[in-house]
Amino acid sequence: MNKFYNIFLVSDSTGETLDRIFLAIKAQFNQFNNTIHHFSFFRTSAQVKTLIEKCKKSENPIIIYTLVDITIIQEIKKEASHNKYVCFGILDTLLPEFEKVLGKKANHIPSGQHALNKEYYKRISAMQFSIEHDDGQKPETILESDIIVLGISRTSKTPTTIYLANKGFKSANIPLISDRSVPEEVLNEKTKTVVGLIADASRLQDIRKTRLNTLSEEKHTSYVDIEKIKEEIEKSKILFKKYNIPVIDVTRKSVEETAASIIKIHEIKNTK
């Protein structure tokens, strides 16, 4: 019988980094039954007390933290040891090792990665640009993009460009609706990264049906006709091949994986 675990994710900031780390860990284990408890902006002894009290009321607690305040770390480790709780500090080993390599002490400032610096404002600017250039909008300034994503309906164009924007890339997307959907200047652009997205026809049909159900639209339409979808996919492949546009099949890819593939294409293009 598999045990059930209560995972306490403790961060001195928003907790997004720790969330992703735990998801990566969890993905490596089958039947890892758990409930996640989030503790964000964790910086006081009172919060340590609250955390331990909740652990006491939980089955098989595991504490995982990304903290930099040494005093708070010592308090958590002391209480966890006293109560025999499993406790892992993600940065506990990394920071000392980097101190050795860099020859300097870490500043131990909470939320240091969220400082309002140049990179932060670059991401905000990219996000605004990507929202303004979603779904083929504002074609007159689309060539200001770092990355332009093309694809037929429901190939994850919008979430992919928004994710790319969060990484600091000014991204736009254009839906392939007809032969004239994409401006010629985009198709012939050699300095920008233009990428085409495709997906399995059956997968697209399922996604489109769900979309129509959400909108309470009629189900029997060419939008979800499997033969029509196959035709759309084939036309998009012909277009991508004609203009030598790299293609990514998103059928079994998450938005993060698709974006990572696009970033790699962008990096290779810009190192030539």
pLDDT digits (tens, 9 = 90+) for 27-48: 999 999 999 999 999 999 999 9
Residues 228 and 257 in one domain: yes
> For residue 107, what pLDDT is reported?
86
User: Given pLDDT bands bounded at 50, 70 and 90, which one contains residue 16?
Assistant: confident
> For residue 233, what pLDDT is reported?
97
> For residue 49, what pLDDT is reported?
97
Q: CB under 8 Å to 63, separation ≥6 — which residues? A: 8, 10, 51, 55, 76, 80, 85, 86, 87, 88
Residues 129 and 183 in one domain: yes
Computed over every residue of the chain, the mean pLDDT equals 93
What is the domain count for the chain? 2
One-letter identity of residue 83? N
Q: CB under 8 Å to 83, separation ≥6 — which residues? A: 52, 55, 56
> For residue 112, what pLDDT is reported?
66
> For residue 179, what pLDDT is reported?
74
Residues 91 and 192 in one domain: no
Averaged pLDDT, 180-194: 92
The arrangement of strands across the sheet holding 61-66 comes to 33-39, 4-11, 61-66, 86-89
User: Given pLDDT bands bounded at 50, 70 and 90, which one contains residue 271?
Assistant: confident
Averaged pLDDT, 81-105: 94
* pLDDT tens-digit series, residues 123-177: 899 999 999 999 999 999 999 999 999 999 999 999 999 999 999 999 999 999 9
Q: What SS3 state is found at 7? A: strand
| Domain end marker among 79, 114, 149 | 114
Tokens standing for 54? 């909740």
**Full residue range of the structural domain in which residue 250 is found:** 118-269
Helices assigned H by DSSP within the chain: 16-26, 45-56, 70-82, 90-102, 118-132, 157-166, 184-187, 201-215, 226-242, 255-269
Residues 178 and 71 in one domain: no
Domain with residue 214: its CATH number is 3.40.50
Residues 7 and 54: beta-carbon distance below 8 Å: no
Residues 128 and 68 in one domain: no
Say how many Å lie between the first and final Cα of the chain, rounded: 55
* pLDDT tens-digit series, residues 196-230: 999 999 999 999 999 888 887 766 688 999 999 99
> For residue 2, what pLDDT is reported?
79
One-letter identity of residue 113? Q
Averaged pLDDT, 181-203: 95
Q: What SS3 state is found at 35? A: strand
Q: CB under 8 Å to 71, separation ≥6 — which residues? A: none
> For residue 119, what pLDDT is reported?
83
> For residue 1, what pLDDT is reported?
61
Residues 69 and 170 in one domain: no
CB atoms within 10 A of CB 246: 16
Averaged pLDDT, 100-120: 80
Left (φ > 0), alpha (ψ -120 to 50) or beta: where does 135 sit?
A: left
Q: Which among 223, 228, 193 is positioned nearest to 208, based on CA atoms? A: 223
* pLDDT exceeds 70 at position 115: no
